Amino acid sequence: MKEKIISVSFVIILFSFSLFFLCKEDTLFSDIERRKLKTKEYLQEDVVENLEEYLTDQFPLRNNFLSLNSIWNRYILGNNEDNLVYLKEDYIIEKMYPIEKESINHFIKKINEMITEDLQNNEPYYMIIPDKSYFLNEKDILKVNYEELKKELKENIKGKEIDIFDLLELEDYYKTDIHLKQNSYLKIIEKLGENFNFSQKKIEYKEKSFKEFKGSSAAKVPFSKKEELNYLTNEEIENVKVTHLEYKEGKVYEESLLTSFDSYNVFLRGPSSFIEIENNNIEEEKELVIFRDSFSSSLAPLLIPYYKKITLVDLRYINKEEMKKHLEIKNQDILFAYSINVLKNSFLLK
């Protein structure tokens, strides 16, 4: 009798779960993992192959279980690292260690190919932005050996280095996001001017603030706090022409995106393969091309007062052949500006 009750109970539970999955609306996006989840459309492609992934992604109370697991690992078991992030005084620090040698070599190769094949008549510079772990001294945190990395890049990249490491500190970064705060780039502008032959201007900005910001790292740590995202604007910035290859015309600050799943996309609308910013208030025909990742989305607006035209190229989304259809390399200033995240995942560069 006992075995019969157990068998019937199992069948009822199995049937209930099956009915639940058939009736419930699919969850499309995981805020915690910041990715799209597998839906019934994915299941229809191949039920046998894709069923396990679908059920895992659509499991009831999935986010709650992920949060509980993180709480257990970090606060009960006392693990310093969880979800590939560390915590230091409310700063969420994503683990970048290790960076594979193959990825570093590929990064150097892609930069050098661009320099030797397309920038022979220019004087290109490169700038590496460290991650937050660079500013930590704790021995129990695994982090990139930046001194060795900088040495290797300097010895092998054919462009000139702009070293900004000494200009930065942990407080220059968001607590819940990998990016630098926009204000932090103001001290980098002077260093760029020394290399690109312009003097930093005394510019009046109006600072706008979004107080509900939670960055891309926040979902990996339960109970992470909201912080402020500030951005600097003025009449000159608001009157430039911004053109995206994907979206056509846009704005420097897309304020409607502040309440999207990634508020950082307020800067130049987030990921975009090719952007041109034209400033008709500048008489001098001075232009800048930045080969970049998402960090330069908040840097570029602060360079508007110095250039007639700024072109942003993200080689993760556009290859060199397609880029050449839209960009004529002449006598522009050239900057390769990349965070350590790209060096870790350099095979994304096309």
The count of C-alpha atoms lying within 13 angstroms of the C-alpha of 39, restricted to the half-sphere facing its C-beta, is 10
Q: What string of DSSP letters covers 110-171?
A: HHHHHHHHH-TTS--EEEEE--GGGG---TTS----HHHHHHHHHHH-SSEE---GGG--GG
pLDDT for residue 261: 86
SS3 34: coil
Contacts by 149-157, CB closer than 8 A, 24 or more apart? 149/99, 149/104, 149/343, 152/104, 152/108, 153/104, 153/108, 153/126, 153/128, 156/108, 156/112, 157/108, 157/111, 157/112, 157/115, 157/126
Structure-token pair, residue 245: 């290859």
Integer CA distances (angstroms), 135 to 53, 88, 131, 173, in order: 38, 11, 8, 11
Amino acid at 87: L
Residues facing 250 on adjacent strands: 242
CA distance 350 to 108: 13
Q: d(Cα 333, Cα 195) in Å, to the nearest integer?
A: 10
Please give the average pLDDT of every successive group of 10 residues along the chain, which has 350 residues.
Answer: 58 55 62 63 69 65 53 55 76 92 97 95 97 85 92 97 97 97 96 94 95 90 88 97 91 96 95 96 92 98 97 96 94 97 95
pLDDT for 317: 95
pTM confidence score: 0.82
The maximal CA–CA distance of the chain, rounded, in angstroms, is 91
Taking the CB of residue 226, how many other CB atoms lie within 10 A of it?
A: 14
pLDDT at site 77: 45
**What's the rounded Cα separation, in Å, for the pair 306 and 164?**
19
Measuring CA to CA, how many Å separate 22 from each of 17, 41, 144?
Answer: 9, 13, 47
Residues 6+ apart with CB under 8 A from 266: 210, 229, 231, 253, 254, 255, 257, 258
